[in-house]
Amino acid sequence: MTTPLIRPDLVTSPEGPFLAAAELTQNEARATPSHGHARGQLMGALSGLVSVGLDKHQWVVPAIHAIWIPPHYVHSVRSHGPFSGWSVFITEARCEDLPREPRAIKTTPLLREAVRRAASWPGSALDQTQNRIAEVIVDEIAASNAASLGLPAPEDARLVRIADSLVGNLADNRSLDEWAHWAGLAPRTLSRRFVAETGMTFARWRQQARLLRALELIADSVPVTTIALELGYDNVSAFIDMFRRSLGTTPGRYLAAGG
């Protein structure tokens, strides 16, 4: 049985402090089946990686990022190997001015330090200092910009087969026509259904899958050259160019900005 991250009443009850937080560090993988709760949750990573199944999307939470989950959204959580992270739980009434849809965000040093302080609180009524820190956390969530860390899953069985195979080997550079032939459908059908079911073209979806995997590897301090080869890029420059176009910075500067 998975040990609760925090006292259950601080997740499910509107009573008690409007904000509660907890930190977790463990060497073994952690899995929490699909569930929901009345409080909104901000889940962040300090090291390692956690994935969140949410709203027909698979989200990843690499280091220096977090996922905002509004109240009552059903979600599942799984960490991958050694992991260190944190969660903040906010009463439904205080979520009125926070994002209404799930989103990934890049956390700021201010937010991470405020959460660290909040995670040391006993779960009782907040004093004036604690209340000010809690308000900083809420303000940081409200002011955050969405980051592209989600990968929508297709539903058509043939598209699922392609997506699963791609995720299993992101270095596979077969063209859309080759994938369509492999899955037994027309290229135009593959192209049309991919957009209809994921909101992305096939090429964009594959790039997003590669980007999310790159973030995982960067969080684990894997060399950029190794990442580029694992993701099927002909050279490091091509990978860095994709990363810069997607996130506006290089892999090295991206990680350093969150330190």
**CA neighbours closer than 13 Å in the CB half-sphere of residue 87:** 19
Average pLDDT over residues 64-89: 86
Q: Name the fold adopted by 153-257.
A: Arc Repressor Mutant, subunit A (1.10.10)
Contact yes or no for 95/72 (Cβ under 8 A): no
Average pLDDT over residues 149-154: 83
Q: Where are the domains of the chain?
A: 9-147, 153-257
Write the burial class of residue 8 (CB in 10 Å: 0-12 exposed, 13-18 middle, 19+ buried).
exposed
- Model confidence band, residue 7 (pLDDT cutoffs 50, 70, 90): confident
**Interhelix angle for 187-198 vs 176-183, to 10°?**
100
Report pTM.
0.73
Average pLDDT over residues 74-100: 88
Contact yes or no for 251/214 (Cβ under 8 A): yes
Domain 9-147 classification at class level: mainly beta
Position 2 pLDDT exceeds 70 = no
